[in-house]
Structure 1
Amino acid sequence: MRNLVVLDFGSNSVRFSINQIVGKDSFQEILRQKATTRLAEGMGNASQPKKLTAKAVKRTLGAVADFQQVYQSYPECKVVGIATAAVRQAENRTDFVAQIKALTGCQIQVLTAQQETYFDYLAVINSLPLTECLIFDVGGGSCELALVKKGQFVAGISLPVGAVSLSERFSPTNDFTAQQLFALQDFLVGSFQQISWLKQAANLPLVLLGGCNRSVARLQRTRLGYAKTDLFHGFSMTTQAFKEIYATLLAKKLPERQQLPGMEANRADIILAGMSPVVLLLEWLASSKVVFSESGAREGFIYHSLKNEAAK
């Protein structure tokens, strides 16, 4: 195997990466692509069964077919797949996994909440020079938190809510009213209060993962005049700067958010729900800054897989 292709089925986007294997336990990403397929669409309503809709599955299968046209041109490829919250929570996940296997020949590994959290940790600790931090991955259908002390994984948790599900539940029209925002904040505070170890992260930097957080990094780098807004791995900003962007977005309607320089138009509808947990956590823990990571569960999965292979 010269190249490892990883299909990554998230709640908002499906992605793939081609990773050139270097030695026994290291890799270099040579290509990545994504498509916004909203796999978690319709799963935010607490009163409805959690199922992948036919439309979301069709969008995702179409994206994967397009990906195949790209990665099949690379030599010596092994194709693997992982799926996170949307698939994990869906009652019809077995059917979805079977459809992906029929299309690609790849058996998806549906990550448990614990695996996703630990893989986030592996990705950050292997790619950023940080030994004390709280990792916060805000996905479309779940949020993962991992406490890191002295470079070690201390505690972690996955909350079954994310930017897509929170938007559908608290702001179905894509623009928060004051009442909806207060309801969201009350819900999030209640969720954080149940995490017994969270106060141990007081004053630590937040390492942010997930699509909405990546959008914030791009917005800030655009504001600061960076020529390359996508090169944000390790980029940091103050808590105050993060809150200023949040306030700016809150004051704008969806069409205005979509037009902001640096904003991904197809993420503008969920970004407020995605940022809200971060803003509350920054206040809760009195953190002074955030650091952005471009690496997440997919990269952690690769580190874990290569280490296992090397140990055989």
Structure 2
Amino acid sequence: MTVRVAAIDCGTNSIRLLVADVDPATGGLTDLDRRMRIVRLGQGVDRTGRLAPEALERTFAACREYAEVIGAHGVAPEHIRFVATSASRDAENRDDFVNGVVALLGVRPEVISGAQEAEYSFTGATRELTGAPDLAAPYLVVDIGGGSTEFVLGDREVTAARSVDIGCVRMTERHLLVDGAVVDPPTPERVAAIIADIDAALDQAAADVPLDRACTLVGLAGSVTTISAIAQDLPAYDPAAIHHSRVPVERVREITGRLLAATHAERAAIPSMHEGRVDVIASGALVLLRIMERTGAKEVVVSEHDILDGIAFAAAG
């Protein structure tokens, strides 16, 4: 018997909704509605330690929309899960965020730890991969978010996980933002500073997760899926074409160089680029490239199924 669930993943850059029917017996999941809004909840958090009022209002506007969708599908309150990640963990005023979500959706956000975030990501990303003949375990799942990146290694179950504070928004705000505007294109010195931060964070991740033991690298979230879309020269963002696509490291290196050398207008003109990722995609691509170079991965398997799907499985009980 299936259970209708609603899963919400509120990250640093985006907030996403999945309404689905889940069969707890088989692990099957059928999408009914899957959508995403760029809200930049983490705007300025790395600098101020607080959630900005305008960022909160953008997030609450998305919550109002999602409440209507959840109600239209008749999801029972006990099967709604709202998971909040990096930005809301870091903010001094996270109670403003929590109280606003409760008022709009009737559920309390779960401000999960990095380890919990990694486990949800792993479940969502690898459930379909188990048994694929050319995708050997163990899998290393990397979820490149706005404020943090999760690393999780495992086969059918997680064996090691670590969250580190590198993400496309955090790196952009820390190194590419001058007087409120993104430097386009960044100087070599600014790029080198991002790389230094990424490499230091990879050292932290490697202390807990043996990055070199993975046989298959699986990449999640908007930076990775956008790189896949660019690699395929898609005329528009196409989740079906992106899901389980594979991007060789040479192509990731080429795209990263192109994005770092581009202006805002040139990045915005890429057909598959979401407007909310234009300013942060170069940093996200650089995170992915350094991970691939560090692990020796020859390719990344791109998954559209990620933490959101893991939350949905958990919401089914």
CA distance, structure 2, for counterparts of residue 97 and residue 123 of structure 1? 25
1:37: which partner in 2?
39
The aligned runs of 1:104-123 (5 Å cut-off) are 104-123=105-124
The aligned runs of 1:157-172 (5 Å cut-off) are 157-172=162-177
CA distance, structure 2, for counterparts of residue 57 and residue 256 of structure 1? 30
Shift of 1:202: 5.3
What is the DSSP-based 3-state SS (H/G/I as helix, E as strand, rest coil) of the residue aligned with 2:74? coil
Instruction: Give the alignment partner of residue 160 of structure 2, picking from 138, 155, 161.
Output: 155
What is the DSSP-based 3-state SS (H/G/I as helix, E as strand, rest coil) of the residue aligned with 2:300? strand
Deviates more, 1:10-19 or 1:170-179: 170-179
The answer (yes or no) to whether the contact 2:82–2:107 under 8 Å persists in 1 is: yes
2:145: which partner in 1?
139
CA distance, structure 1, for counterparts of residue 211 and residue 237 of structure 2? 35
CA distance, structure 1, for counterparts of residue 211 and residue 190 of structure 2? 30
Identical residues among aligned pairs (%): 26
CA distance, structure 2, for counterparts of residue 39 and residue 151 of structure 1? 33
Deviations 1:60-118 (A, max 9, x none): 11111122232322234433211111111111112211111011211111111110011
Shift of 1:246: 1.0
Instruction: Give the alignment partner of residue 275 of structure 2, picking from 245, 261, 265.
Output: 265
Q: Are residues 1:243 and 2:244 paired?
A: no
1:281: which partner in 2?
291
Question: Match for 1:11: what amino acid?
Answer: T
Structure 1 segments of 4+ aligned residues over 6 angstroms from their partners: none
The answer (yes or no) to whether the contact 1:174–1:254 under 8 Å persists in 2 is: no
Shift of 1:122: 1.2
The answer (yes or no) to whether the contact 2:9–2:15 under 8 Å persists in 1 is: yes
Aligned length: 301
Question: Match for 2:41: what amino acid?
Answer: L
Question: Match for 1:179: what amino acid?
Answer: E
CA distance, structure 2, for counterparts of residue 157 and residue 91 of structure 1? 23
Question: Match for 1:204: what amino acid?
Answer: C
1:71: which partner in 2?
70
Deviates more, 1:65-74 or 1:135-144: 65-74
CA distance, structure 2, for counterparts of residue 256 and residue 243 of structure 1? 18
Question: Match for 1:266: what amino acid?
Answer: G
The aligned runs of 1:1-312 (5 Å cut-off) are 2-22=3-23, 24=25, 25-45=27-47, 48=48, 50-78=49-77, 79-129=80-130, 130=135, 131-148=137-154, 150-172=155-177, 173-175=182-184, 176-194=186-204, 195-201=206-212, 204-222=215-233, 229-231=238-240, 232-306=242-316, 309=317
What is the DSSP-based 3-state SS (H/G/I as helix, E as strand, rest coil) of the residue aligned with 2:153? strand
Shift of 1:245: 1.1
Shift of 1:174: 4.3
Question: Match for 1:51: what amino acid?
Answer: R
What is the DSSP-based 3-state SS (H/G/I as helix, E as strand, rest coil) of the residue aligned with 2:202? helix
The answer (yes or no) to whether the contact 2:81–2:315 under 8 Å persists in 1 is: no
TM-score after normalising by structure 1? 0.89
The answer (yes or no) to whether the contact 1:124–1:295 under 8 Å persists in 2 is: yes
Question: Match for 1:216: what amino acid?
Answer: I
Shift of 1:264: 1.6
Distance 1:73 1:167, change over 3 A: same
Structure 1: which 5+ runs fail to align? none
CA distance, structure 1, for counterparts of residue 17 and residue 276 of structure 2? 18
Question: Match for 1:239: what amino acid?
Answer: V
What is the DSSP-based 3-state SS (H/G/I as helix, E as strand, rest coil) of the residue aligned with 2:162? strand
Deviations 1:17-49 (A, max 9, x none): 11113354543121111111100000132xx3x
Structure 2: which 5+ runs fail to align? none
What is the DSSP-based 3-state SS (H/G/I as helix, E as strand, rest coil) of the residue aligned with 1:166? helix
CA distance, structure 2, for counterparts of residue 169 and residue 7 of structure 1? 27
The answer (yes or no) to whether the contact 2:138–2:214 under 8 Å persists in 1 is: no
